[in-house]
Structure 1
Amino acid sequence: MGLFDFFKKKEKPEETKRNDVILAMPMFNNGEIVDFEKVTAYLKSNWNTAISDINEDGRAITFSIQGETAAIATMPVQIPFDDIKGTAQYAYNWTSAEKDLENHNSHAFVTIVSSNNSEVERFKILTKILSSIIATSNCLGIYQGSQSLLIPRKQYLSSAEELKSNQIPVDLWIYIGLRKGKDGNSAYTYGLTAFGKLEMEIINSKLALEELHSFLNNICAYVIESDVTFRSGETLGYTAEQKIRISKSSGQFVEGQTLKLEM
């Protein structure tokens, strides 16, 4: 019996509310702006995605894509650098982010508005649009403040390709925090609430940080893809013998209630 045989699926998660708008911000140097024609052409050629109802007006464009309304607006200014610095200090995937982005002088807002599609489908659409912007420009990377993510262009393009093999690009949607402490290693998620789930934390584990990251990455992929909701008092494990206890309590590294995985 495998790991996910121990998960219980619920029809409707009860912990968090749906986000009406999903937002991400590509960043540029040299006052670069998004070339809307190139982006829509790339969406059609690379992602085989139909675009309709295009409405372009100077520095902004809206269009319909897979049942969603998407908007891209270019801004000839820097994202407030205090926001970037606050996120960069935890961006272990982009250790030079603060230096690389200190002189960026333009960015874009990319938004997906609410529809009847699932959150997973909406994030897939966002990823396709962002990767199309990166591939057709000198975009430095992506800032997603709601998920506490800074993602450099090379990583984004590489991970976005996972969609083509029906995999979940967890690193583009969820931040997995890692902390060392005197009593053990800890890890936590930041971004699961966008999918209607509680964040997860592992506190003071004897496992290595790499193991904790891999474990949470796999758990997040499954939770997102299969719409699994954990409940306090349940257990999970890789084998029938392994039972990792799940409990709910106030978060240690993130606000609100979180699910603690005792391992």
Structure 2
Amino acid sequence: MESNEKHQGGAFVSFVLLDQVEFSFKQLAADLQKDWGITLEDTDIDNEQQSLICTIDGILATVSLMPAPVPNDEAIQNAHTNFHWSEAVAVAEAHQAHLLIAMLPHDQSSIDTGILMVKICASALKQPTATGINTLGSVLAPDFYIHYAHTSLQEGDFPIMNLVFFGLYSRDEGKTICSYTYGLRNFGKMEMEVLDSEQEIGSILELLVDISSYVITSDVRLRDGETIGFTEEQKLSISFSPAYAIDGESLKIGF
């Protein structure tokens, strides 16, 4: 059975959490220029509607101030998945407003669209009212997001930590570890999982990060029944079946 990569990439959407209904679009424009050399026109910002609508390199980018929490307690629910950040749930519970940030590509690649999303979100997160970002099925800390955005993009690397979330959990009280990706579908790729591994947590995460970066940047299609490895000796099995930690189906990496 082939994975056949049936999920197509497309629009990118994220929500920047705010602790009050306050955000400066003028400051965002200044930060985008300073951080990434992105120049906005005065007409791109609608102060009355508290929104930004512009086209950057052919990608329609929108940022809208929403004077209420993210609907349906989505941010609070997603915050529970972030094992990196102990304050994620409290921050999600406390937010009073949010920015709805969306990138809508025309013919641009999902990689270019995702990178533009990262740049705009990273600059928006610099403002004092920004307390977190609800994205990739989780809630990430501003300093985490900003650090990986600048570190990766300034070195010419793909910002994998900003565009794919790597979750961890155990099904046997910590005897073994499971991990999953959330975000590969945005690039037309299947999500991946490692189930009940006896390897160290760091090794599991490093493996999924490396494979995720590889399939996105090299546009690789993994297939059921094949193997993958990063050394001549490493041959990890690939299987395709219903997912455990996420919706739909996933590729299981034997590790």
TM-score (norm 2): 0.90
Residue of structure 2 equivalent to 1:4: none
Gaps of 5+ in 2: none
Match of 2:40 in 1: 51
Q: Deviations over 1:203-223 (max 9, x none)?
A: 121112221111111111222
Q: Residue 5 of structure 1 corresponds to which residue in structure 2?
A: none
Q: Which runs of 5+ in 1 are unaligned?
A: 1-12
The equivalent residue for 1:28 is: 18
The corresponding residue for 2:109 is: 118
Distance (Å, rounded) in 2 between the aligned partners of 1:81 and 1:98:
15
- For residue 225 of structure 1, what is the amino acid of its counterpart? T
SS at structure 1 position matched to 2:94: coil
Tell me how far 1:81 sits from its aligned partner.
6.3
Contact 2:44 2:54 in 1 (8 A): yes
What's the CA shift for 1:186? 1.4
Matched, 1:100 2:91: yes
Q: CA deviation at 1:62?
A: 0.5
Query: In the alignment, is residue 166 of structure 1 matched against residue 156 of structure 2?
Result: yes
Match of 2:119 in 1: 128
Normalising by structure 1, we get a TM-score of: 0.87
Deviations 1:82-126 (A, max 9, x none): 212211111112221121232221111111113111111101101
Name which of 134, 141, 155 aligns with 2:144: 155
1:50-83 CA-partner distances (Å, limit 9, x unpaired): 4358433221120121221111110111223621
State the SS of the aligned residue for 1:201. strand
Q: Do the aligned partners of residues 193 and 53 (structure 1) sit closer, same or farther apart at CA in structure 2, a change above 3 Å counting?
A: farther
Other structure's SS at 2:237 match: strand
Aligned pair 1:261/2:240, yes or no?
no
Q: Are the structure 2 counterparts of residues 29 and 223 from structure 1 closer, same or farther at C-alpha, using a change threshold of 3 Å?
A: same
- Quote the residue 2:81 is aligned against: 90
2:197 corresponding residue in structure 1: 205
Give the secondary-structure state (helix, strand or coil) at the position aligned to 1:178.
strand
Give the secondary-structure state (helix, strand or coil) at the position aligned to 1:181.
coil
Letter of the 2:70 counterpart: I
Q: 1:169 deviation in Å?
A: 2.2
Q: CA RMSD in A?
A: 1.8
* Candidates 58, 62, 71, aligned match of 2:53: 62
Instruction: Decide whether the 8 Å contact of 2:83 with 2:168 is kept in 1.
Output: no
Change (3 A) 1:101 1:242: closer
| Correspondence for 1:10 | none
SS for the counterpart of 1:254 is: coil
CA contact 2:176–2:197 (8 Å) conserved in 1: yes
Q: Secondary structure at the match of 1:32?
A: coil
1:243 aligns to 2:232 (yes or no): no
Determine helix, strand or coil for the equivalent of 1:85: helix
Q: Is the 8 A contact 2:76 2:92 kept in 1?
A: no
Aligned residues: 247
Aligned counterparts of 1:226 and 1:218: Cα–Cα separation in 2: 12
Kept after mapping to 1: 8 A contact 2:92/2:139: no
Q: Aligned partner of 2:87: which letter?
A: S
Q: Percent identity?
A: 28
Aligned to 1:215: 207
